[in-house]
């Protein structure tokens, strides 16, 4: 898989997680543990995106 396609896929997953977090926090009685898990997953994706982008610049 080309790096740009992989970065695009990771970015899309990141956006989807953001939407899921927004939906969960807007829901009455939202699950704090689930929100925390989603945020951690989102952060891991962001870290991977930054790592790959940095690697391609060198």
Give residue-wise pLDDT tens across range 12-56. 999 999 999 999 999 999 999 999 999 999 999 999 999 999 988
Q: Residue 1's pLDDT is what?
A: 62
- DSSP 8-state assignment for residue 2: -
Q: Residue 55's pLDDT is what?
A: 86
**How many whole angstroms separate alpha carbon 3 and alpha carbon 19?**
24
Listed residue (42, 12, 48, 10) closest to 24, CA to CA: 42
């Amino acid at each position: 898989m080309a790096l740009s396609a992989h970065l695009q896929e990771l970015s899309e997953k990141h956006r989807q997680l953001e939407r899921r977090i927004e939906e969960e926090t807007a829901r009455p009685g939202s699950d704090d543990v689930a929100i925390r898990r989603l945020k951690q997953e989102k952060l891991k994706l962001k870290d991977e995106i930054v790592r790959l982008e940095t690697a391609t610049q060198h």
